[in-house]
Amino acid sequence: MTETQHEHKTGQDLPLHGERVYLRRPAMSDATRVFYWERDDEVWRYDIHRPYSRTMAEFMPTFERSYVRGNGRQFWFIIDDEHHAPIGTITYFNIDYRLGQVEVGLGLGEKTRWGQGYGSEAIRTLVQHLFTFPGIMRVYAETAMANQPARRSFARANFTEVGQIYDPRSTGEPWVLLEIWKSHMV
């Protein structure tokens, strides 16, 4: 079942929403904002292998292909705040129906929104949606050990840190594996 078929069958309408956040599909009008978020060294300080384009002209086809049209393996949302202003992105990928799991990633690009609970609310909102997918029982994330803000956001979204891992893309610094099981949703 494709994601679109799943959303139609379950009646899950987009955008998804929490108390203060809305998760909606990216539109081409989001490209400029996402381009600047991806170029911000402070936003991406914990991941040296961030997506990166040197120019907007180079970024536009990538944005359309990956974020707007999608590749069928990774699904993006723009996080809007309660005023419908874009503040970041959230994604899910590595869907494995055989193992009943999916990975998520978060990027809060608007630094003025850091530390206000938007990240954890976006995570909770997406996780609730993912647990409506048939057979999905576990959602997990990986982040740099040093990324305390992300670790706090996932903890506030009821994820548990299950251990240290080493991301082969990193400089050798330890990363943390976090997870939440459908049976532990609060």
Radius of gyration in angstroms for the set of CA atoms belonging to the chain, rounded to a whole number: 16
Query: Whose CA is closest to 103, among 15, 175, 171, 48?
Result: 175
Number of domains composing the chain = 1
- Say which CATH number the domain at 112 has: 3.40.630.30
pLDDT in tens, 62-80: 899 989 998 888 999 999 9
Structural domain span for residue 76: 3-184
22-57 pLDDT tens trace:
999 999 999 999 888 877 666 665 665 566 677 889
b vs e for 55-87, b when ≥16 Cβ sit within 10 Å of the residue's Cβ?
eeeebeeebeebbeeeeeeebbbbbbbeeeebb
**Taking the CA of residue 12 as centre, how many other CA atoms within 13 Å lie in the half-sphere pointing to its CB?**
19
What pTM does this model have? Answer: 0.87
Q: What is the mean pLDDT of residues 112-139?
A: 95
